[in-house]
Structure 1
Amino acid sequence: MDSISQLPDALLLGVLSLLPAKDVVATMILSKRWQFLWMFVPKLIYDDNYQNIEFERLSRFVYRSLLLHEAPVIETLHFIIRPKSNVVDIGVWTRTAVKRCVRELIIEMDCSSSSTAPVMLPRSLYSGCSILVKLKLKKVVLVDVTSPFSFPSLKELSLKSVKYPDEEFVQSLLSNCPVLESLVVKQCPNDNATIFTVKNSSLKSLVLENQDLRYNDIGAGYVIDAPSLEKFKIRDLHEDRFCVIENEMPNIVEADIDVAYGHPGKILSSITSVKHLTLCITSSKDAYPVGLAFCSLVYLEIWTLDTEWSNDLNLLMCVLRDSPNLRALKLEQLDCDGDRSCWMEPSSAPECVIWSLETLELVDYEGAEEEKKVIAFILRNANCLKKATISTESTDPNKRLEMLKELELFPRRSPNCQLAFYYSP
């Protein structure tokens, strides 16, 4: 311990930042060197599950440690709270945290409990966080405020299973974050935001998730107006919902689209500048609009779950046709079970397959005829293909050997193309 005590304060504080707050404060008994060091730790984690601490004891500990803490700025303050915790205490903690010049505030309810009672945050959260840069909330309730509020320094905001006063509150919240760059939203049932509107001119990264099948209100969906957006991810499992993008997003570089909407093509039409695209459409019939051009697209990953695999392959060919500079293609979860319509190869290969495609990857290969047709079509036409990687989950070594023999016999247009085949359990 003596040798550790000789280390610089900055290094010791960095080590202490990795520990739960209970252990951080406990170091004060080690020696005079450590007696006051804990008061300047820039990161505090209060977890009321840690070592099965009773909430009453934890509450007293949080009060005292925050009052005694002397760091001019707390870089990260993280509360992990059980649902049975006293919401009054949590409100006081949050008010105390706001006064302590926190740069990153994380409040999350531990969802391992069967209780679903949310934590209600105090109104002071909206008015005293002038230097707050990151705010992450999980399973809490945001209360309405009559006075103006703002987060002038907030750059990252995460709202998971959060409940709001109403839809207007959501719009007001986001509009009062003038430098916001990253937003993560995971909706929950009865969150009072049937139409979740994201309007923010500074936003660069947006993640929207709604995978709870209980939450499928009629007329529910998203409205997005974020012209500076560079990264966009949306996962929505509900066929009757929607996503409206009000203005173009010309700066999109990376997009991950996983929706069950009847017309997802409206989203695709707004992200034509994308370079890295992951696409999963559960109903690909009439999903792809005419006239798109993904001239910047270099990486494409497609997950297709349609019951008619010919629809999936037609969708794939449409995207390939409109992506003249594509260099990498990954196909995943091409479900081949059941009756399938026969896929007809196009009369000519897409331009990107002939002149720019360098890598092909097919995951969960089963050796079905339609799969073999796709692989053979690409290998036969790809002049620049360097590597084709194919993985299977088949546990039968004889079947895997037969798959490999068949694949090796497919003609390859590119003399430099290497075929990699492996088992992926």
Structure 2
Amino acid sequence: MDLDFGRSIDRISKLPDSVLCHILSFLPTKYAVGTSILSTRWQYLWTSVAMLDFNDSELFNKRDRTNGIGEAEVDLRFTNFVNTVLLLSDVSCLEKFNLKLESLCYFGIVKAWISNAIKRNVQKLELCYSARHNFDGQIPIHLPHMLFICKTMVDLRLNGNISLKVPASVWLPSLKILEIKEVIYENGDSAHNLIHGCPALEDLHIFMFYFDKQKVLNISVPTLKRLVLTRLGDDGHLFFSEHKLTVNTPKLEYLVIADDVAVEFSLENLSSLLDACINVGPCFSGSISSSNLLKLLRGIANVKFLRFSSANSDDYVLPIINPLHNLTYLELQNVSDGWNKDLLNVFLEYSPNLEVLVLEGSIARQDRPWSPPPRVPSCLLLNLKEIKCCSCTGGELNVSVPTLRRLTITRFGDGIHDHLTKLVVNAPKLEHIHLSDYVTRVFLLENLSSLLRACLVIGGDCLSPLIHWPNRLTIYDGCISMLLMGIANVKSLDFFSELSDYCLPTFPNLTHLRLGGRNGGWNLKLLNEFLECSPNLQVLTLEENRVPGSTKCWTPPTRVPCCLLSHLEEIRILKFDGDGYDLGVLVYLLENAQVLKKLTIDCQNSTRASVLYPSLWFMYYVYRYVVVRFTCLL
């Protein structure tokens, strides 16, 4: 008899030490040390792990602090644990030393821990102390001097209540990644000295506040490839005369600047820049706005992808600038009251190769109407392929671009008084359109002969007030009818609406149709209309069961639509929870779809799946020439 039958085999323990240490390196040190109790094979294995990860909140959770163990006792236990690990660890070259603290009382020992890691030739050092600027009475952590002359460190990340007192002489020859967030700058040269003591730096992240002592930032690093700078201001301090920013980085490829406080800045020698995200505040307001914008555009002249937002919506008056020949993607935002149309004119005029334009925010400004450029920008005539308008509200929108291939317009407003008054689209090469409209008054879509796919999300909760005004609701239905007439050449249509009183045109090219409601569900009457008007329909998808409140007693069409007789090959019913009327629609489709090849019914989320299941299988046996796939949760 095999006495070992049924026993599990410990294959992990038979792996080489190097492999086991590599596995343990992915665990917090607390759990890596915990493996020492497994067996004698594991007892000291953790001492050879080259990554140390300490977190005081993870080591002693809140339950320990409320079970009669005082704050000082918990901190003492954590301190003893870290000291013991560092004492027993036999690693001479640390790959990573991560220290995350929340409420440690023994600050002097932290300096010793960091020194210990540096003596072990640490490559990546992360230090995070969540208490910020003495707001809760915590004393900041001070860094050892030897940190600033470490030759092996490749990655340094400092976050939180850490005193950054940088000596004049800094030498970190191997450092490639530097991240400093919410630290305390002891003097105005701290960041400058640290950054310029890193000759191999490639990735720099800085996060600071307006009240930090570091007012002037001069980032001149020949090797830098990525720069992310965030400097937050305060609504009560709108004038920051001392804050300045200079960036001189010839190899920079990716740039993010969110600076609320600088009044003077310079972007120089950015010949390699590909992707930039610029978010500026008061520095772009008042009399200096145009001057600063001019400096910005000159500094990022080689950028290919640009996202720009500003808290200011003032007019910009710019002299002639050099064209942005490489710019192919532009995203404009405004955090106050909509994107700036004068700024849009500037970018369109000087971006001849622009292909994608994204606009976010409101359009209308009653106090300052928009004036179109004196001549049509060349990008609109030759290169622009995609336009996205997000959170679009107010005013008229005219999209007449001969080269446009994709158009997305979403969230037109939150009520009947917050909407576009008119939407005009004239794009002979348009292939895809996505429209989420609430209460636009006028649609004029023309010359869309190349349209392949459309997704329309029509109406919504904001239409409920119109129910009490039948005339207004009728007018809105008429607007949607105009919209549908404009896309009559489409081949694939996703249509989501709770309303049904539309006058549909004939869709001669429509082969794929998906019906649903904005809040889920499809409309029986609307289904009849589309079947009648889509003679070449091949695939029909119904999203969820019919809309509550739609016609109860469904009446099939007076004659079988020709699409059912000759073209419809596939039916998909998603999230099906049908009652007798919905099953009646399904039976009608199965009886009359003469060339149907596949039926998919998904009732996975249905509360009535056990009731539906026998009925659906009955249909399968009756119409067994159809390939049926059920997804049911029983």
TM-score (structure 2 length as normaliser): 0.59
1:33 to 11, 23, 41: 41
State whether structure 2 residue 380 is matched by structure 1 residue 353.
yes
Q: 2:370 aligns to what SS in structure 1?
A: coil
Counterparts of 2:456 and 2:28, CA distance in 1: 46
Aligned with 1:389 (options 385, 408, 415): 408
- Do the aligned residues in 2 keep the contact of 1:49 with 1:82 (CA within 8 Å)? yes
Deviation at 1:97, TM superposition (A): 1.0
What displacement does 1:4 show?
3.5
Report if aligned partners of 1:386, 1:417 keep a CA contact under 8 Å in 2. Answer: no
1:286 aligns to 2:316 (yes or no): yes
Paired residues of 1:155 and 1:180 also in contact (CA < 8 A): yes
**Paired AA for residue 242 in structure 2:** G
Deviation at 1:116, TM superposition (A): 5.4
Q: Does 1:254 align with 2:275?
A: yes
Partner of 1:125: 147
The CA deviation at 1:79 is: 0.8
Q: Structure 1 residues 84, 65: CA separation in 2 closer, same or farther (over 3 Å shift)?
A: closer
What corresponds to 2:301 in structure 1?
A: 272
Aligned AA for 2:97?
A: L
- Distance (whole Å) between structure 2 residues aligned to residue 158 and residue 56 of structure 1: 29
Deviation (angstroms), 1:340: 3.9
Counterpart position of 2:526: none
SS in 2 for 1:392: coil
Is 1:176 aligned to residue 191 of structure 2?
A: no
Matching of residue 325 in structure 1 with residue 349 in structure 2: no
* Counterpart secondary structure, 1:125: helix
RMSD over aligned Cα, in angstroms? Answer: 3.1
Q: Distance in 2 between matches of 1:352 and 1:414?
A: 22
Secondary structure at 1:269 match in 2: helix
Distance 2:243 2:81 in 1: 43
Per-residue deviation, residues 116-156 of structure 1 (Å, max 9, x unmatched): 542111112112x211000000121123436x430000001
SS in structure 1 of the partner of residue 228 of structure 2: strand
Q: CA deviation at 1:89?
A: 1.2
CA deviation map 1:230-285 (0-9, x unaligned): 211111223x633223x321111111110021333112210110001000122242
- Identify the structure with bigger relative contact order (alpha carbons < 8 Å, sequence gap 6+): 1
Residues 16, 41 of structure 1: 8 Å contact kept: yes
* Cα distance, 1:24 vs structure 2: 1.1
Distance in structure 2 (CA, Å) of the matches to 1:289 and 1:58: 62
- Name the SS for the 2:26 alignment partner: coil
Gaps of 5+ in 2: 1-8, 65-73, 420-434, 461-517, 520-634
| Equivalent in the alignment of 2:523 | none
Query: Deviations 1:42-85 (Å, cap 9, x if unpaired)?
Result: 32211111132711111111112123223342222111112443
How do 1:24-423 and structure 2 match up within 5 A? 24-50=32-58, 51-52=60-61, 54-111=74-131, 114-115=136-137, 117-127=139-149, 129-139=150-160, 140-145=162-167, 148-213=169-234, 217-238=240-261, 241-245=263-267, 247-260=268-281, 261-262=283-284, 263=289, 264-265=292-293, 266-283=295-312, 284-286=314-316, 290-305=320-335, 307=337, 312-334=340-362, 336=364, 339-366=366-393, 368-369=394-395, 372-373=396-397, 376=398, 378=399, 380=400, 382-392=401-411, 403=438, 409-411=444-446, 415-416=450-451, 418-421=453-456
AA partner of residue 206 (structure 1): L
* Cα distance in 2 for residues equivalent to 1:312 and 1:342: 11
* 3-state secondary structure, aligned to 1:268: helix
Q: 2:229 is matched by which residue type in structure 1? A: L
Tell me if the contact between 2:121 and 2:152 (Cα under 8 Å) persists in the aligned partners.
yes
Cα distance in 1 for partners of 2:442, 2:306 equals 27
Amino acid aligned to 2:408? T
Q: Following TM superposition, by how much is the alpha carbon of 1:210 offset from its aligned partner in structure 2, in angstroms? A: 0.9
Bigger radius of gyration, 1 or 2? Answer: 2
Give the superposition deviation at 1:30.
Answer: 0.8
- The answer (yes or no) to whether the contact 1:330–1:361 under 8 Å persists in 2 is yes
Structure 1 residue matching 2:445: 3-state secondary structure:
coil
After the TM superposition, which of the residue ranges 199-208 and 260-269 deviates more from structure 2? 260-269
The alpha-carbon distance between structure 1 residues 74 and 394, as it changes in their structure 2 partners (threshold 3 A), is farther
Q: 1:241 is aligned with what amino acid?
A: V
1:186 maps to a residue whose letter is F
Give the deviation of 1:99 after TM superposition.
0.9
Contact 1:389 1:421 in 2 (8 A): no
Amino acid at match of 2:204: L
TM-superposed deviation, 1:335: 6.5
Cα deviation, residue 103, structure 1? 0.9
Tell me: CA distance 1:191–1:395, structure 2 relative to 1, closer, same or farther (3 Å): closer
Query: Shift of residue 8 of structure 1?
Result: 5.2
Q: Distance in 2 between matches of 1:132 and 1:110?
A: 23
Is 1:389–1:420's contact at 8 Å kept on the other side of the alignment? no
Q: Deviations over 1:149-207 (max 9, x none)?
A: 30000001011112234233433322221111111111135432111221221111111
Offset from partner CA, 1:92-133 (integer Å, 9 cap, x none) = 111111111111101011248844542111112112x21100
Alpha-carbon contact 1:387-1:418 (below 8 Å) kept: no
| Paired residue type of 2:404 | L
The verdict on how the C-alpha distance between 1:116 and 1:393 changes in structure 2, with shifts beyond 3 A counting, is farther
**Residue 107 of structure 1: SS of its match in structure 2?**
strand
